[in-house]
Structure 1
Amino acid sequence: MTTAPVRDSDPAEVPRFPDPRSAVCPFDPSPALRDLTRLGPVSRVRSWGESTPWVVTRHAEQKALLSDPRLSARFTHPNYPSPVDPRHAGGVRPDMSFVAMDDPDHARLRRMVSGVFTVRRIEAMRPVVQRIVDDFLDRMLAGPRPADLVTSFALPIPSLVISELLGVPYDDHEFFQVNSKTIVSTVATAEQRGQAHGRLSEYLDDLVGRKTAEPGDDLLSQLAARVTTDELTRSQAAAMGVLLLLGGHETTANMITLGTLLLLEHPEQLAAVRDSDDPAVVAGAVEELLRYLSIVHLGRRRTALEDIEIAGRTIRAGDGVILLGELANRDPDVFTSPDTFDITRDARHHQAFGAGTHHCVGQPLARMELQVVYPTLFRRIPTLRAATGTEKIPFKYDAVIYGVHELPVTW
């Protein structure tokens, strides 16, 4: 990758983005992304469709921009920097999901689901999640060795948890897992992604209809009630369901497997997580895992609505912007020795969940699940180890959400 400073008028010298992580250091940002930091906190890259969006690499500038209403999250802007063509989203239009809206529409729809994800309500779910984790560990321990930690443990746990919260039948987990995997793939065609999104949208739309007729004690039923009172369209409710279902299991599942593998490579820190009776120790370890791994590794993407002056550069109205959380989370101005994995550090200022009005609404649930999963896994199976070398593990270089496709483990 070219690392010399570039002028706005010299796009031929703009470095390429994205660039895969190195197989030698699969937990770290790619070496090419590291080179971007040498160009300054804000610089151009050549990305999908030969566009040249801005990339923001430092923590302070990212935090400021993620809170700036002059940046739009709408997918449908002409220069929105996305690997997925919004015209091929399939089923429900992408701008019907609040994640792709700006305030006040974003805030209005987000409030309809945010109450379910308050810390108090999520903490009340902790005993339920503990039982779910123990149940899947019982099944894994009773099964063959080696076991794939992804399919036997990491993927089913958040899938079941989000299914119960939303009111989605867990019996359909294979259907929504397969389609979700296609949606977050960077190697699937636009048509394949669109078809997968369409299938999930139709499925959630049908569920919303059923919840309207027969409501239950779940989030989809709450959304269905708002459809009845004309606060939401049925398509909007379905789009929100797709977002929460996909986000509620894909991200946490990948954090479980990737975090487990990282802890296995740091046995002293693993022992601290396993043996501590102090919830603060486990909570701190989870924050450091979130910081260090940064599984959202294609950036948070926006389009400028107005000219924005930042770090000595001018982002013009209409320019695409990519905010790279994995670099913000390795910013030495914020984190001492940022490339060192250290569960004793205060990592709470990481941007694994974003920042500003679009920060991840489900982060309390993700945190709680991870706080239950890691110590329980290592206490129940103290001899757990990877059944193959790290170099043989298939990492998800081909997905928007980073992780591993499979993780063979034994004990």
Structure 2
Amino acid sequence: MSEQNEPLSFPFEETGGIAIHPRYAELYDKPLVRVRMPYGDDAWLATRHADIRQVLSDPRFGIVATRGQDQPRARPGARVGDGLFSMDPPDHTRVRHAAARHFTARRIHLLRERVREMAEGLLDAMAAAGPPADFMTAYTIPLPTMVICDLLGMPPEDHERVWAWGHSIMSNTATAEEVGAHFAAFMAYMKDGVEQRRRSPGDDLLTTLVQACDEDGQITERELLGLTADLLGAGFITTTSELTDFLYVLLTHPDQLGLLRDKPELVPGAVEELMRFVPALTATSLPRYATEDVELGGVTVAAGDPVLVAISAGNHDPHAYDDPGRFDIRREGPAHLTFGHGAHYCMGSHLARMEMQVTLELLVPRFSGIRLAVPDETLRWQPSRLINCPEELPIAW
């Protein structure tokens, strides 16, 4: 690596809540810095919007090189797998194509009414039980779980254990043995599902993947199972966190909540601003490795060097956004980076946006006087996790 000062310890210490760490403000006007994660090699850290976009879209930065490297990471076990997060084009393009037709804008538009019915059912049950309610238990955990399990063709009675597997696998506090055990249990479950689709195909995403494997030879069975593991984390664990944080932000910004109630046509823009404003990930994405020397952020990243990108920092870069710490659902500016950029742009972005829009469209006008049921300062935030979310979100109305 190019000569730099002693690497910064990263991730930065926890502050609790959704505010991004104040340390990032010191980095926006400095060259790219080196960081030292709890485990693995030292890395470069990109925090500026423009630098992050370059790393995520420049073909000179790749993921495949992480294989065989001591990946910079927050927990002991390095991430392994055969899904999209372990591939670069052209393999990434080939495997992604196997599932992509289920996530097109048109397909998700057709799914909107089905998701709306699920959401209304959950809100009906919450209203019938009366306040107070834990919004996570009542809504933000079950809705994304129901949606992705429905897409895959999983029976409703399995939703709870699927969520539990994903919750553990995404944890930074679970031991490597615990994560491995839960991942193995999920893989065994999905292998059973694959065999069931071979015997009795359905009209679901898992059947599509089985056919892409068996009939078209487009993907291998290892890649098929890797894709389902990606869906476990990206399909609903992160959406649960974002939906929870979104309501928290609106409840702690009553002027913006009131504006949204008065002007429901602002819902799409509100979702985009919430995705920019909320730091859904507490640390960084998977490392990208330079395949040749690259000039980035005022330094030369040497071939073989890993680069981490801090998405939440990029979304709050004052060079890209005016007064980035201000939450404004009418904000205009560059696209946020929450769904990534380039070849690895989130395949489920249309689905996630739709779930978030439906939630705001139904929740805000229906529950007048909605508010936190406990003082803000008493909320308990999940410790040391890959995603940023309260343990629960008690609400009243």
Q: TM-score, normalised by structure 2?
A: 0.94
SS of the residue 1:45 aligns to: strand
Q: Is 2:10 the counterpart of 1:17?
A: yes
Q: Is 2:66 the counterpart of 1:81?
A: no
Distance in 1 (CA, whole Å) between partners of 2:84 and 2:116 is 31
Counterpart AA for 2:55:
L
Alignment of 1:366-381 (within 5 A): 366-381=352-367
Pair 1:382–1:183, CA change in 2 (3 A): same
Counterpart AA for 2:12:
D
Distance in 2 (CA, whole Å) between partners of 1:95 and 1:179 is 16
Aligned to 2:254: 267
Distance in 1 (CA, whole Å) between partners of 2:4 and 2:120 is 57
Q: Which has the higher contact order (CA 8 A, sep 6+)?
A: 2
Deviation at 1:9, TM superposition (A): 3.9
- Asked if the contact 2:290–2:302 (Cα under 8 Å) also holds between the matched residues in 1, the reply is yes
Q: Is 2:47 the counterpart of 1:61?
A: no
Q: Is 2:93 the counterpart of 1:107?
A: yes
Deviation at 1:45, TM superposition (A): 0.8
Distance in 2 (CA, whole Å) between partners of 1:50 and 1:238 is 26
Aligned to 1:72: 62
Pair 1:70–1:79, CA change in 2 (3 A): farther
Aligned-residue CA RMSD (Å): 1.8
Aligned to 2:320: 334
Distance in 1 (CA, whole Å) between partners of 2:14 and 2:246 is 16
- Asked if the contact 1:287–1:347 (Cα under 8 Å) also holds between the matched residues in 2, the reply is no
Distance in 1 (CA, whole Å) between partners of 2:74 and 2:36 is 12
- Asked if the contact 1:304–1:317 (Cα under 8 Å) also holds between the matched residues in 2, the reply is yes
Aligned to 2:294: 308
Match of 2:23 among 17, 20, 32: 32
Aligned to 1:3: none
Pair 1:37–1:305, CA change in 2 (3 A): same
- Asked if the contact 2:39–2:75 (Cα under 8 Å) also holds between the matched residues in 1, the reply is no
Distance in 2 (CA, whole Å) between partners of 1:239 and 1:170 is 22
Distance in 2 (CA, whole Å) between partners of 1:84 and 1:73 is 18
Q: Is 2:211 the counterpart of 1:220?
A: no
* Paired-residue identity, %: 34
Aligned to 1:295: 280
Superimposed CA distance per residue, residues 100-133 of structure 1 (whole angstroms, 9 cap, x where no aligned partner)? 1011100100011111111111111111111111
SS of the residue 1:260 aligns to: helix
Distance in 1 (CA, whole Å) between partners of 2:177 and 2:159 is 23
- Asked if the contact 2:36–2:72 (Cα under 8 Å) also holds between the matched residues in 1, the reply is no
Aligned to 2:38: 48
- Asked if the contact 1:205–1:235 (Cα under 8 Å) also holds between the matched residues in 2, the reply is no
Pair 1:347–1:273, CA change in 2 (3 A): farther
Deviation at 1:48, TM superposition (A): 2.6
Give the paired residue count.
Answer: 394
Give ranges in structure 2 of 5+ residues lacking alignment.
none
Q: TM-score, normalised by structure 1?
A: 0.91
- Asked if the contact 1:21–1:31 (Cα under 8 Å) also holds between the matched residues in 2, the reply is no
